[in-house]
Amino acid sequence: MSNQKKTVIIIGGGLGGLSAAISLAQSGYAVSLYEKNHHLGGKLNRLEQDGFGFDLGPSILTMPHVFEKLFTGSNRKMADYISIIQLDHQWRSFFPDNSVIDLYSDLEKMSNKNSELSEKDMKEYAEFLEYAKKLYDATEKGYFEKGLDKTGEIFREHGLLGSMKDFDYFSSMYEAIEKRISNQKVRDMLAYFIKYVGSSPYDAPAVLNMMIYMQHAQGVWYVPGGMHKIAEGLVKLATEIGIELHTGLGVTSFIKDEQNQISAVELADGSLRKADYYISNMEVIPAYQKLLHEEPAFIEKLEKRFEPSSSGLVIHLGVDREYPQLAHHNFFFSADPANHFDTVFNQHKLPEDPTIYLVNVNKTDKAQSKPGHENIKILPHIPYIQEEPFTHEEYLLLRERVLIKLEKMGLTDLRKHIVTEDLWTPDDIEKTYGSHKGSIYGTVSNRKKNHGFKHAKHSERYDNLYFVGGTVNPGGGMPMVTMSGQQVRDKIVQRDQQDGN
């Protein structure tokens, strides 16, 4: 690069935006980031209410090495900024017949702790992990390390036949599980790893089974004090290395020129800012709609291929008792998971009997509630905002069904013990984070619509515009969106090196 630093403007301060900002600053670029909200970290948001502390966004940290890379790039140690602890007991699955399966990365411990699982079950699971490892290794090679964005790039990297074999191309996630696992409860437990990307295992490609090996090999982690501490650590690092961070000041539009370039952004205060490159942490379709005002036909084409992931009804409860049967992470399964996924992802209706994810951080972090109390976060996946939106009353009816289900499955008198509550609907998620139709995980993974691929990170319309976050590859989830920022840095640096800049 020349002595004159190239400039970058980043729109949005979620994990993808922060990752791109830090990575580019470490590569010698002058970076300014603008965030419309008054906090940085996007969905890594926090609620303190009546003596309870809640993570409003992600609750599970995986692949910590992805975050570590941001600190080592500035010759720093992540441990000096963010404390993390590994959970030996990864999660607990509750089933309608009152049986329970506990998930551990240690297979011997998992076998000893689960009378529900036979020797055959454990043998099948161990063999499944070997299958999932092959998927992970193939994914890491191109999709993660090289930031490949399109099916054609994968075919060139692995070869046509190699790609079909390496990624189990013709199977859905559930088909691959069903083929290798005979215990229906284990099938359902493994299929719900799809929660990381807000999709259906019946429609998602088999390659997503790599998440099962990834978690087994690299662990489940927690950040004492709350997951927002990740964002705080990254913001501290960004400030130390000279990134300009602006909160409470969003970008309202891109200014375009006739050469398919972005020439400036207009801020909410009416001022203009110019840069060499622009990176949007706003999701792809909302950015094209609201900041670039693209024609409806172009937006419609994107929406057909890149449908939003699921949303969620997020219920935060403070209760005045303890539930010793809960683990830190818990899943309460539907009596008919296939019907549940069909209802949410194909019929786009609110589920009658949802599978429920429940987080009880008090099992690890007692400081998140008052003594003798617990904080409980409840998340059933539900459809994104439809053309005929669900009413608030319908969301409240779902809330009631969810709480009754939890009571029937062992959380006795849960509703009677609620002392504080906070409820988020898809409308709240869309309003706060600008996510497309209130989706939580970006773009749905659907092998028929997009083969599990998200939008490419480089805009197909504007040469100096890039995207990060859950609507671009490698997809949703904290490590993936963080990786997207690192991959955009790689693309921009490589481009400038090829241009001799």
Is 195 exposed, middle or buried, given 0-12, 13-18 or 19+ CB atoms closer than 10 A?
buried
Q: What is the largest CA-CA distance in the chain?
A: 68
Structural domain contains residue 94:
no
Question: Which residue is it, tokens 């691929």?
Answer: 453
Indicate whether 1 pLDDT > 50: no
| Beta bridge mates, 238 | none
Query: What is the total count of domains within the chain?
Result: 3
pLDDT in tens, 304-332: 999 999 999 999 999 999 999 999 999 99
pLDDT of residue 126: 98
458 DSSP assignment: B
Structural domain contains residue 97:
no
Arithmetic mean of pLDDT over the chain? 95
Q: Where in the sequence is the domain holding 156, given as residue range(s)? A: 105-219
Structural domain contains residue 98:
no
pLDDT in tens, 74-115: 999 999 999 999 999 999 999 999 999 999 999 999 999 999
Q: Are both 348 and 452 inside the same structural domain?
A: no
Single-letter residue type at 423:
L
CB 133 within 8 A of CB 126: no
Q: Are both 166 and 215 inside the same structural domain?
A: yes
pLDDT of residue 160: 57
CB 302 within 8 A of CB 456: no
- CA-based torsion, 423, 428, 429, 433: positive or negative: negative
Single-letter residue type at 346:
N
Distance CA 197, CA 251 (A): 27
Query: What confidence category does residue 141 fall into, taking pLDDT thresholds of 50, 70 and 90?
Result: confident
pLDDT in tens, 200-245: 999 999 999 999 999 999 999 999 999 999 999 999 999 999 999 9
CB 437 within 8 A of CB 284: no
Last residue in a domain, options 394, 414, 436: 436
Distance CA 475, CA 308 (A): 12
Q: Are both 113 and 191 inside the same structural domain?
A: yes
Indicate whether 2 pLDDT > 60: no
Q: Are both 128 and 167 inside the same structural domain?
A: yes
pLDDT in tens, 15-45: 999 999 999 999 999 999 999 999 999 999 9
Rounded percentage of the chain residues whose pLDDT exceeds 70: 96
Q: Are both 366 and 409 inside the same structural domain?
A: yes
Indicate whether 385 pLDDT > 50: yes
Indicate whether 276 pLDDT > 50: yes
pLDDT of residue 146: 67
Indicate whether 71 pLDDT > 50: yes
Q: CA–CA distance from 364 to each of 88, 455, 459 (Å)?
A: 11, 37, 42
pLDDT of residue 163: 61
Is 471 exposed, middle or buried, given 0-12, 13-18 or 19+ CB atoms closer than 10 A?
buried
Distance CA 94, CA 483 (A): 33
Q: What is the pTM of this model?
A: 0.94
Distance CA 458, CA 461 (A): 9
Q: What angle do CA 9, 11, 13 make, to 5 degrees?
A: 110
pLDDT in tens, 154-210: 667 666 556 667 788 889 999 999 999 999 999 999 999 999 999 999 999 999 999
